Chain A
Amino acid sequence: MSLSSAISTAQSILSNTSKQTLVVSDNIANASNPNYARRAPMMDNNIAGGLIVSVRRTENQVLLTQSLDYLSVSSAQNVVYSGLEQMKTTLGGNDNELSPSRYIGDLRNMLQTLAATPGDTTLAASLISSAQDVANSVNEASAAIQQIRLDADMAIERGVNDLNSLLTQFEEINREVVAGTLSGEDVSQALDQRDTLLREISSLVGIRTLERDGNDLAIYTTAGQTLFETVPRSVTFDPTNGFDATVTGNAVYIDGVPLVAGTGAQTDAKGELAAHLQIRDTLAPVYQSQLDEIARGLVVTFAEHDQSGSALPDLPGLFTWSGGTVPSTTAIVPGMAASLSVNPAVVPDSGDPALLRDGGINGASYVSNTSGGTGFSTLLDGYVTALGEPMDFDAAALAGERTSLIDYASDSIGWLELNRSQAADAAETREAASVQVFQTYSNATGVNLDEEMALLLDLEQSYKASTQLLTTIDEMINALLAATR
């Protein structure tokens, strides 16, 4: 009786050991899988008094939530930073070689030189080409900004599609977990997958989770919209095909409630979607309105004034735009930067560069150089001075209210660099924090190979011991049988 029960105990040790070995080798196999939570083999007594092995998955809900939080903040910050970085590339490198500011400075230098020798027709023609550089750089910057908005819009669309498909997968896995938990199966594998999905979702949008009976998980956004509760909620977005300064993009609706865009260079957005919304609806449009204000400043500064005393309105001079007027109020004219161009009346192919020196682009009433002398420099010098004189700008463009056009163009760079530098700092610290938290989480739930190896040694010993036990019992039984023969 007792010998045979000893045999059965030894057998159960063997089977328990092999079960434990299975768990340990599973752990070893997943040592470098970041989404794997370590399984601990546990010995429990069953009702009958026998030892059985159960598998427990290490979990740390607090660290998981924290790690998801940091992940969504860090991925949002990265999006904001790379958006600002993209905007900076429209300015060129360290010396802002491609910025409107630089080209306006060059234009002023050309004007200065031409004012010293107003009769030089070659110089006048190269001044016009310098003015074309200014117009082109403003046009190109505006086009690049709208492209950045379009890219953000497309990224939002992709993000929304990803989010929807992640939620569908989540529904499946969650059902598996709930069903498995109810029937008492080992659901560790499914839980790993569910955590992985949570990580992917939280990089798109900041989330809070709520665990309910039977391991069922509900997901809400940090703003409180329901993303998943038993079934996934719909996330909808209507992409825009093309952007210009007057087009506003559509909102992302989660369960019917619009997702709020992030604010600030050190963004308060959680998840990539809100950050893309911030680029598309705040950062890029602000820079666009600064470009529009620069364009307005150029048109106003180079406007021709009535010289005939009949109070005719100011009309565009060197620079004109699709509207063809000189805006009289201090307000952003959306889209002006895109249509800024050099007046064809002074372009050598279609007109006469000398009109810039004499005035009269808009007809005889606007001629300043009434005697027609080629050494007339007053008007040119007036433009040089006007570029450095304070004028009013719309405060809504966030680059100053009353400053000279040249300084305004520099201030616009300053605005961008301020945001970029803040975003870069924030991106660095937030990524470090995110990595740090993930490491802590990984330390709490991950696998240590050495420990598994040590465990394996234990198992090996106990396996050896139990085989030894079997042999010994076998010998004892043999001896007993031999004695009774």
Chain B
Amino acid sequence: MSTRMPSECLRFLGPVLLSHLMKLLLVEDEPALRSTLLEALRQGGYVVEVAPGFDQAYEKIKLYRYDCILLDLTLPDGNGLDLLRALKADGSTAGVLIITARDAIEDKVAGLDLGADDYLIKPFHLSELNARLRAIIRRRQFQGQHHIVFRDLLVWPEQAEVLVRGESVPLTRKEYDLLLYLLANPGRILTKEAIAEHLCGDTVDTADSFDFIYTHLKNLRRKLQDKGADNYIRTMYGVGYKLSSE
């Protein structure tokens, strides 16, 4: 708590702290997916390097240090799990997020047992990828003692505390989850599907479940508005929602 600073001071520092110094390695063999992910991650403010295969990835992890590695398990010239083993053998502090089309639960379990931080199954929402990445980096780099600043908003993830200009905003767990999800994707349009799956697990049949997102968003908006944080969440008609930076 002693590290907490007035939100005004952190307002410009926050995004810098979180993103711009973060260096990622993207290990993905599919060119089209690789380029799209690269673009999205760079838009998120990360420094990203790519490795299309096992050998390049192996070379890179031996030579450089990364904050987080996005790892595809099925590579044409090797198994991503072996890269993970190599990383752990080197005592690397890098976070590892497994991305795999192999929905084999065994692989996930093996990956997590080997020390991966999280996993995502292809296809996934880019916004979900952002949220997971943020969570990993937050845990790894700051042991959770990190705060997120967005305009007048200050969030202490460790304490699950949300402040607007120093004033605490009481949120339910789902509303808080939703806010954190939005904060992981500032300025990005989040689809209804992505939000629904984030809140309810990825097996929810989203098509007929959007009504509950609306309820939660409405409540979250109202609570932020009560504290003077007006018009932060914009509705993109027929698409989804966006955390607006203006």
A-B complex is real: no
- The chain A residues found within 8 Å of chain B, CB to CB, are none
